[in-house]
Homo-oligomer: A and B are copies of this chain.
Amino acid sequence: MRITEFAAAMGTQVANLGDDFEIKGITTLDAAGPGDVSFISSDKYLSQAASSAASALIVPAKASVASHPSIPLAEPWAGVLFLLNHLYPENRFVYFRGIDPSAAVDPSAQLAPDVAVGPGAVIGPRVVIGGGSVVGPNCVIGPDCKVGSNCALNAGAILCAETEIGNHVILHAGAVIGADGFKYEKVGGRLAKIPQVGRVILEDHVEIGANSCIDRASFTETRIGAGTKIDNLVQIGHNVTMGRSCIVVSQAGIAGSCKIGDGVIFAAQAGVADNIRIGNGVTIAARAGVKDHLPDGVVVIGQPARPFREGSKIIMAEARLPDMIQEVTRLKKRVEELEKKLAPGG
């Protein structure tokens, strides 16, 4: 694709263009060389553009970049995404077609004709997989799972029995969906494992990171809403229901039976106690620990998590704590002095 074709595809023109050229790649300002397009996602990076060896830049709509041919876009990321998808086709690493001879697919499984099953993958009885889905090498799909269309299960991802995932779902390597929830009760004087007979449902366009775990429900369902994106090494407990378009960053953990709204952001290493209700549009800061229900729209920070303003004040105050303890000791002494002076006969 030539730079002028790219601009036309985005509905715009190349400003400041010398010769048209074939686009070789898209990369960062620093890494770009001749033939590459780079990009500036926001005006604040404009000053870094001049020194880039890129042959053209995608820039914010009203930005003026004298140094390079530029493609102005209201959403620079839209252009970056377009080029990435053009230059790096989604399934470029899918080298197997149909069912690899080393895969073990149960005869009762129903796979759409264009499903690709990689070497060593195992697909259990009564599994149904929709068109365009890819099951990577050494994946395991347990009995009675349903997988929608255009899903990508990367190497070693595991769907435990009865898990249901929608369309355009991506599971990264080693993700485990539908393992037993963690539930024991004292019965007859010892801890008894309570069988977990519910399931996990991942709605459309959900993405689950490498080695993350989402547990099946005790009785009903654990549900991750459409468009929600979950990073690596995240734990989601049984019976959790999470809304649409949430973001859960690496190593966060959400305990069992939480009810979470839409558009909630869990930053890295955050934790949420069990049975917590979290409204829509909530943001939970990195490493925050949530123990109480949270209404729509709040931002919380700290351990225990508190509203941002309050939590920030406490964190700043902590830095002054050692000085303050000394100050209190001094004040105590001064008050004693004053008391002595005012005592009868003082």
Contacts and interface: CB of A to CB of B under 8 A. Distances in A.
A327 B320 CA distance: 13
A77 B192 contact: yes
Contact of A235 (B156, B227, B251): B251
Of A143, A215, A232, A316, the most chain B CB neighbours within 10 A belong to A232
A233 B235 contact: yes
A66 interface: no
B179 A209 contact: yes
Interface residues of A, number: 118
Copies of this subunit: 3
A161 B93 contact: yes
Given A140-B137, A176-B173, A304 B315 contact: yes
Given A84-B197, A191-B245, A316-B322, 8 more contacts: A30-B220, A75-B186, A87-B197, A122-B155, A156-B176, A231-B235, A303-B303, A313-B322
A104 B77 contact: no
Q: Would you list the 10 A-B pairs with minimal beta carbon distance, nearest first?
A: A104-B119, A179-B210, A122-B137, A140-B155, A77-B185, A176-B210, A93-B161, A213-B232, A27-B219, A313-B322
Contact of A331 (B75, B231, B331): B331
